[in-house]
Chains A and B, each alone.
Chain A
Amino acid sequence: MLLSELRRGDKALIDSFTDYEASLKLLEMGCIPGEEIEVVRVAPLGDPIAILVSGYLLSMRRDEAAVVVVIKVIR
């Protein structure tokens, strides 16, 4: 599934990206395939979202999150 489809509190592993150019920025910010992320916060209007990645809070718009393919971690 896509990062943009996760709900608040969901944890997932980053798998791959659907857009090459956007992935370059995400990689720089520490969103590396294999990395575990958690959706910590969703803005009151549903967008943007904030994820915990590499030990920090990264906020991004949903359309930016929509290029990240993730594997949801089921607890």
Chain B
Amino acid sequence: MVDWEKGNVQPFKKKFCDDSLAENNLKKNLRIALVGNPNSGKSTVFNALTGLNQKIANFPGVTVDKKTGTGTLIDNDGKKNEAEFIDLPGIYSLYPKSPDEEIPFRILCDPNNELHPDIVILIADGTNLKRNLFLCSQVIDLKIPVVLVINMMDMMRYKGIAVDYEAISQKLGVPVVPMNARKGEGLAELKNALTQALSVSEKEFLDIRTFAPEVVDGIISTVNVSSNYDAFLVANNLHIITNFEIQQHKKDKIKELCVQHHFDAQKMQARESLERYKKISELMSESVSQVSALRKSYTHAIDNVLTHRVFGYLIFLVILFLIFQSIFAFAAYPMNLIDSGFAWLSSQVKDALPAGLLNDLIVNGILAGLNGIVVFIPQIALLFFFIAILEDTGYMARASFIMDKLMRRFGLNGKSVIPLMSGVACAVPAIMSTRTIQNWKERIITILVTPLMSCSARLPVYTLLISLIIPNKYVYGINEQGLVLMFMYLIGFAAAIGSAWVLKKIIRMKERSYFMMELPLYRVPRWSTIGLHIIEKVKVFLFDAGKVIISISIILWVMSSFAPGDRFKMIEEKYHQPQFATMSQQDIAKEIKSEKLQSSYAGIMGRVIEPVIKPLGFDWKIGIALVTSFAAREVFVGTMSTIYSVGDQGATKLTVREKMQNEINQDTGAPRYTFAVGLSLMLFYAFAMQCMSTVAVVFRETKHIRWPLIQFLYMFALAYVSSLVAYQLLKP
């Protein structure tokens, strides 16, 4: 009698079933879920139990990752058992308030869920038992076997908290294991407790049936639930239960039942919370004592400095500067190494394979795409090194605390500062770092506006264009070119903040969101946890975002390597004619490459979009660069130099900058790259979403195609309109 919905197993399985877990089902491994409040040390226990045997996958439709892992349990007879562990997102109760919090609810409360555990390890922060036991008592009342871990023994000793574990165990009817997970203390005891034949506690912690006997009984006879409390939760959370989980007609029946017996979900939930806390207070008064008076803790002293009105901001600024410097400056060395490594590999492959389409696909499609993915790793690793430290020490919550009011005006969160600043180096790691923002609306807005910050890939574009349109002059001792460059950075920042403000007004969220969060005690960071965190982030990027990036890279390669009909053949034949005989082989190859690009599908697209971009002051050559630089903005420079190598005749060895400078606008007879065109083009690059890696990572982080699409469109509109206005106002 343990299914929500027995007759409807198939479609449900299809939706949530994970292949690896299905395999494990056959082997009949124990499935053990880790459940606990945020900051309870849940991930530390998970890491200790599984080590490096971890796997990250997706839960459909939410932003949290599904972390599973395997570990070996040895029972008293020395028999080894493989167990499958799953680390569930941190929650405070079984009443979900966001899509992420619905995951533990569905898994724990629906006995038919593919991931429904055999055992729950409930991790409780021992320094904060009252609030942690609240969730614990709820899970116990689901009648799932529970092992309660009381974690952070070291901090409990520091705070002078003494706990009678035996008494708690008796009162709750579950085994209790004291742990200091950071040091691995208590791990053996936990593993041992897990191997014991676990049974559920006979008595309920809270006799929930008395709250609404008719409703509870009615639900039990309609769907199969694991306990009275589970039935009560079904009634309370009916609005989020899908038709896969409980069929519509049964939901209707439950709804009717609730109406008939005047079941007020909010009142019931409030009453439950009050009575639960009352019982927990009784339990705590009998089994927990604070032997020494709470001394003025070091956390309090550190907070006096870190949330100080002057030092707080100064220190935060220094930390930001350090992060910014490292991803901007230090990451450059490994990134150059990766780039030259791939350049070497490309030239090796190019020479080793016979010339032709396959060679070109591998070198310019696949290897170029791979290079584009791998090159992000140093920045991601560095940024997450810092973020993991900030999170693990407890500082991140303080940064949010002091910055929140400022950022909230723009629909952002105190924690949005770090992604926004990192966005100046690269939007990809920056967007991945928005996970720390719990508030869903503020996280989405941060993700949507971060790519407007001027990233390092825009730098080569800006540099080239600024050198074309701005004289290298000094005004009052200030370099004009440098001034314009700074202006481009400021305009990116202003656009990000402004868009956030507008998005705040537009985006409506179904759920009410809360800022409420714990300011955890300061802790020394754990290097192993930080290492695992970095590995996890890099893996997610490589395998999830990487797929999208390489696909787009190949599509772009196809577009610039193929032309309709026999155009390419005609170009080749043209250069075999006698008038080109005087040119060197190298120059001919260059010219052919350029002409091929111009007549390829990408070239055609450049011409097709010309009428659309003409009001911005762009011609079809710029159009081609816009198309190819969708892969990454810096491709603009390369494409430009390929396009402008035509007509060179090898006579003049001009740089791409000089060639662009000499380009004449056919309509006006004046130079092509006027101030108006240059500025318009820079504005376009400042605002348009021309980075497939960002698109891929936004999709990965929001798990919905809607957000990258909205982002692409609004950024494109912003780019188009501002370029249009700038060109039309400034054109001669």
The winner among A41, A44, A46 for most chain B CB atoms within 10 A is A44
CA distance A41 to B309 in the complex (A): 12
Interface size on B (CB < 8 Å)? 39
B28 adjacent to chain A (CB < 8 Å):
no
The winner among B97, B274, B516 for most chain A CB atoms within 10 A is B516
Known: A43-B307, A56-B127, A60-B515. A20 touches B313 (CB 8 A): no
CA distance A43 to B316 in the complex (A): 14
Nearest-Cβ distance from residue A8 to partner chain B, whole angstroms: 11
Contacts of A56 in B (CB 8 A): 127-128, 131, 518
Known: A24-B266, A32-B277. A44 touches B308 (CB 8 A): yes
B6 adjacent to chain A (CB < 8 Å):
no
B339 adjacent to chain A (CB < 8 Å):
no
Nearest-Cβ distance from residue A20 to partner chain B, whole angstroms: 5
Interchain CB contact (< 8 A) of B519 among A28, A50, A54, A61: A50
**A32 to chain B: closest residue by CB:** B277
**B288 to chain A: closest residue by CB:** A55
A43 x B404 contact (CB < 8 A): yes
Within B487-522, which residues are at the interface with A (CB < 8 Å)?
Answer: 512, 514-520
Nearest-Cβ distance from residue B254 to partner chain A, whole angstroms: 21
The winner among B270, B312, B520 for most chain A CB atoms within 10 A is B270
Known: A43-B404, A44-B313. A28 touches B134 (CB 8 A): yes
Interface size on A (CB < 8 Å)? 31
B273 x A21 contact (CB < 8 A): no
Nearest-Cβ distance from residue A4 to partner chain B, whole angstroms: 13
Contacts of A33 in B (CB 8 A): 274
Q: Describe A's contact surface by its main secondary structure.
A: mixed
B266 x A20 contact (CB < 8 A): yes
B134 x A21 contact (CB < 8 A): no
B587 adjacent to chain A (CB < 8 Å):
no
B95 x A30 contact (CB < 8 A): no
**B91 to chain A: closest residue by CB:** A28
B406 x A59 contact (CB < 8 A): no
CA distance A58 to B401 in the complex (A): 11
**A50 to chain B: closest residue by CB:** B519
Interchain CB contact (< 8 A) of A21 among B266, B401, B404, B515: B266
Contacts of A45 in B (CB 8 A): 402, 405-406
Contacts of A59 in B (CB 8 A): 397, 401, 515-519
9 sample A-B contacts, Cβ–Cβ < 8 Å, listed by A number: A23-B270, A28-B134, A44-B313, A45-B406, A46-B405, A50-B401, A56-B518, A57-B518, A64-B515
- Residues on A lying within 8 angstroms of B by beta carbon are 20-30, 32-33, 40-41, 43-48, 50, 54-61, 64
| List of 6 A-B pairs having minimum Cβ-Cβ separation, nearest first | A44-B309, A27-B273, A57-B519, A45-B405, A30-B131, A54-B130
Known: A20-B270, A27-B277, A43-B402. 4 other contacts (CB 8 A): A55-B129, A57-B519, A58-B516, A61-B408
